[in-house]
Structure 1
Amino acid sequence: MVIVWAEDERRLLEGCVPFLESEGYTVHSAPSYAEAVALAERVKPDLLIVDWMLDGKLTGLDLCKHNERSWRIPVIMVTAKEDEFDKVLALEIGADDYIQKPFGLRELNARMKAVLRRTKRYSHSDERDEGDPSVETVLSRGELTIYPCRHAVKKSGVPLDLTATEFKLLMKLAAHPGRVYTRALLLDEALGEAFLGFERTVDSHIRNLRRKLEDDQSNPDYVLTVYGVGYKFNEEMGR
């Protein structure tokens, strides 16, 4: 398992990397945005660990944005920031989890394993599928075609540019048309424990998802609101 850790605090790396390597991980570190991007392009990591503050003008948030555009590798954000707004911002920009300094090595390891388990559900991780999209189970929902292994969605043949979070929400909803999900259940099953306590972030992700899916966001065809409860995928589109 290969990790790229974007971190400019050398003492933290000296304390964490030997432990992670003893757990079987291969860890590469970079102190700046530019070096982290070059390193990730070279080693193709399974996980990014990203400090909020990095050397230079560009931050860990910029690296998360680049990851959403280019790689969509699972990300854990590491920071000393305590404000709830900062945690929500990191998660909405694309981090899969958030860990606050100081933290224990076992907690970090547990969070890494949890993120990798969650994202594996939606990744092209099964070796028998590798390089062979023909064995992929494709979901057809109305004008939507969803390719789970490739994290790809098309509407009437036109690719849609969804973030990793939007894709996870769509997959969870579209897999069971008509089933109603509360915000808490979507957080738990689709996004994971990093989002717990921030149920209203689901609403912003659903708005962004509808903006990309729907012809008329005020009268959606696919992702429907169940008032007072949560959301569901339109069963009429699941036939």
Structure 2
Amino acid sequence: MSHRILIVEDDQFISDMVNESLTKEGFEVTAAFDGEEALEILNTQTYDIILLDLMLPKMDGIECLGIIRSKSMIPVLIMSAKDEDVDKALGLGLGADDYISKPFSMIELIARVKATLRREKHYMRSQSPEVEKENKNNIVKIGNLSVDMSGFSVTKFDKEINLTAKEFQILKLFISNPSQVYTKSQLYNSVWEDDYHGDENVINVHIRRLREKIEDDPSHPTYIKTLWGIGYKLGDV
């Protein structure tokens, strides 16, 4: 059974191009051209992933994402040409799983879609009763954080921290390799499971948002340290 994808994009040319490329890859694709239409479709049909533009008529993508998240945890990949809008969507904690900056190549978009679907499959397995015992025994304490490496959850002072899938993967990568310094290219390859195309803002936004959630003082981070000109590593906490 093929995966079902909903594209929410008001630009007819971009929508058709993405639709054609994903269909060739064997996906079942539906297109919506504004936020209201997307929500109407989601009321009657289910999908495995949503590709969501933020600059939409009738209802913008951020409002649409908020409504989607109030009803479902379906993976959402944001497509946007404006980094500040992407930053806003992530910062509001609405639960976007990933984003890709316009203009993008179809090869990169397809790779992102496939990687997101692989992560979702792994996440669903981690929530099954068969791995409940494994999850309980795979909790790592670091500083004031308690990280369930299998259960995809993080708490600080016994209060749960709501991380996106990407934020959790970044934190897990650092914890799993505490002495390793990651360049942005290595970080991207490991977390996004794709070749690095030099889009530093993708990494910068996720690192900043992760720090804002886990650090006592994000401007002076202790959990994720920056080695200027090199990359990032786990701090000595």
Q: Same fold (TM over 0.5)?
A: yes
Q: Which residue of 1 aligns with 2:116?
A: 119
Cross-structure match for 2:93: none
Letter matched to residue 96 of structure 1: Y
Q: C-alpha offsets along residues 172-218 of structure 1, whole Å, 9 cap, x if unaligned?
A: 22221121112232233324659732325534433332221122435
Is residue 128 of structure 2 the alignment partner of residue 131 of structure 1? yes
Gaps of 5+ in 1: 102-106
| Contact in 2 for aligned 1:145/1:155 (Cα 8 Å) | yes
CA distance in 1, matches of 2:195, 2:108: 9
1:75 to partner: Cα distance: 1.1
- Cα gap change, 1:66 to 1:169, in 2 (>3 Å): farther
Go from structure 1 to structure 2 and tell me whether the alpha carbon gap of 1:17 and 1:199 turns closer, same or farther (over 3 Å shift). Answer: closer
User: Unmatched 5+ residue regions in structure 2?
Assistant: 91-95
Give, as a single letter, the amino acid of the residue that structure 2 aligns with 1:166. E
TM-score (norm 2): 0.70
**Secondary structure of 1:181 counterpart:** coil
Does residue 196 of structure 1 match 2:193?
no
The 5 Å alignment of 1:179-194 reads 179-191=180-192
- 2:141: which partner in 1? 141
Matches within 5 A, 1:1-239: 1-9=3-11, 17=19, 20-21=22-23, 23-40=25-42, 42-56=44-58, 58-64=59-65, 71=73, 73-77=75-79, 86=82, 88-89=83-84, 92=87, 93=90, 94=96, 95-100=98-103, 108=106, 110-120=107-117, 122-125=119-122, 129=126, 131-132=128-129, 133-134=131-132, 135-136=134-135, 138-142=138-142, 143-147=144-148, 151-191=152-192, 196-199=197-200, 202-234=203-235, 236=236
Q: Is the 8 A contact 1:124 1:130 kept in 2?
A: no
TM-score, with normalisation over the residues of structure 1? 0.69
Q: Note the aligned Cα RMSD (angstroms).
A: 3.7
Task: Give the distance between the partners of 1:117 and 1:14, measured in 2 at CA.
Answer: 19
Q: Are the structure 2 counterparts of residues 9 and 130 from structure 1 closer, same or farther at C-alpha, using a change threshold of 3 Å?
A: same
Q: Percent identity?
A: 25
